[in-house]
Amino acid sequence: MHLTLHADYALRVLMYLAARPDRPSSTQEMADAYGISKHHLVRVVQTLGQQGWVEVKPGRSGGVLLAKPTGDIRLGKVVRAAEPDFHLVECFNREQNTCPIAPACGLKGVLAEARDAFLATLDKYTLEDLLRRSKPGLADLFFPTAASEG
């Protein structure tokens, strides 16, 4: 199982915003913190906004904020919204499947079960759970000057 960058970044954006829920963050700020493309993050934020998990406030003093409590954001839902599909192997896509053994093969069922178990595990956890499981000082990694100020 391999998540796309879109799903990976969606989870990272949510963790970043949850680390400092009291202030808006720009996509450039988040891109700089993670060392990733701002262009890609803009699309990720759009996905998160369409799902109602983040709010985007335009303008100079605007930015991105969580739109829901961290306990209401389920990781399984985030991954499902951010992943284009869960075709682990060719035979998962009926339209493009050319595997000659697909009609008799038992692998597809086993992989589907594994995929479902993966998503079921993510469904058990919320963004709040991730924050609780993170080591102390997570926010300091994102906002090193905030640690020295406070």
- For residue 27, the one-letter residue type is T
pLDDT tens, 78-88?
A: 999 999 888 77
In this predicted structure, the answer to whether residue 94 has a pLDDT above a threshold of 70 is: yes
pLDDT tens, 13-35?
A: 999 999 888 889 999 999 999 99
In this predicted structure, the answer to whether residue 38 has a pLDDT above a threshold of 90 is: yes
The pLDDT of 112-131, averaged and rounded, is 94
Contacts 24+ apart (CB under 8 A), 38-47: 40/5, 40/6, 40/9, 41/9, 41/13, 43/6, 44/6, 44/9, 44/10, 44/13, 44/82, 45/13, 47/6, 47/10, 47/81, 47/82
The pLDDT of 124-149, averaged and rounded, is 72
In this predicted structure, the answer to whether residue 104 has a pLDDT above a threshold of 90 is: no
- Looking at residue 147, its pLDDT comes to 44
